[in-house]
Amino acid sequence: MFPLQQSDDNELVFQILSNPSQQGNISQDLILDYASLETSHPQNVKNPKKKKLPRRVLGSRSNSDKKDSITDEFKLKKVMHRDMERQRRQEMTNLYSSLRSLLPLQCVKGKRSVSDHMHEAVNYIKQLQANMNKLERKREKLKMVPKSSPRGRVEEDSSDVSSIIASPDCDTVSPCHGGVEILINGNNNRGESLPLSRILQELLKEGLDVVSCVSAKVNQNSLHRIQSEGCDEKCINLHSLQRKVIDVINIDV
């Protein structure tokens, strides 16, 4: 070893020791000095166990954070599902209430469950469809009546027709079913020149809608029956309308 010694001039000089025993003593002193430093400053000594602790703590914290995030996501999905289910049930309740309000009272009387209401609704719809089909067939028959047998409707009212034909100059205007009924005798040398189109135009001018016009012959006498509606009976001047109809009939006579 080469110990350092300070000279008189304050300079450090190396001193070469030739005695081996002295060198051993110096090395032992250095070892003891280093050991004393380790005991006096323990924080400078590296401890591998203390460094692993923070890693474990960080790992446990990250795992707990992941578990918390998964739990929060599950709770959020559960809340959303509950809200959607509540909204769906509310909408179904509103639809059931609307359906129940459309059904007649006799269909829902004494029935409280939704299944009973649904069953009655199906039966009611089938009943309405059957009624619609029945009315459709009836309308088609009414459309075919004037083309196939125009005398049929007049012959059904033969009692009224015979009383009208009994008077030779029978041109009458009378109220009928919220409108006006006009009966015209086609005799008295009028022949086939009776201006029905002008009569219909006159009724339209008066604000009346013609719903039927039937011509027939009973006992060799011609009879024309015109039914119209659209105005209140109190607002119609029957005497004035009858005079206008007679004037239109006598224009070309």
Could you report the per-residue pLDDT of 9-23, keeping only the tens digit for each? 555 544 554 555 555
Task: Look up the domain containing 177 and give its range.
Answer: 172-251
Sign, CA dihedral 168-169-175-180, equals positive
Q: Distance between terminal CA atoms of the chain?
A: 164
Quick one: pLDDT at residue 173?
A: 77
8 Å CB contact between 199 and 248 = yes
97 part of a folded domain: no
Give the Cβ contact number of residue 137 at 10 Å: 10
183 part of a folded domain: yes
221 part of a folded domain: yes
Quick one: pLDDT at residue 88?
A: 92
Count of structural domains within the chain: 1
128 part of a folded domain: no
211 part of a folded domain: yes
pLDDT under 70: residue ranges of the chain = 1-63, 65, 145-171, 177-178, 186-194, 218-220, 231-235, 251-253
238 part of a folded domain: yes
116 part of a folded domain: no
* Residue 109 CA to its chain's centroid (Å): 27
Task: Give the span between the Cα atoms of 242 and 253, in whole angstroms.
Answer: 17
Task: Give the span between the Cα atoms of 74 and 196, in whole angstroms.
Answer: 84
Quick one: pLDDT at residue 245?
A: 79
- Domain CATH number, residue 210: 3.30.70.260
Sheet holding 171-176, edge to edge: 171-176, 179-185, 221-229, 209-218
49 part of a folded domain: no
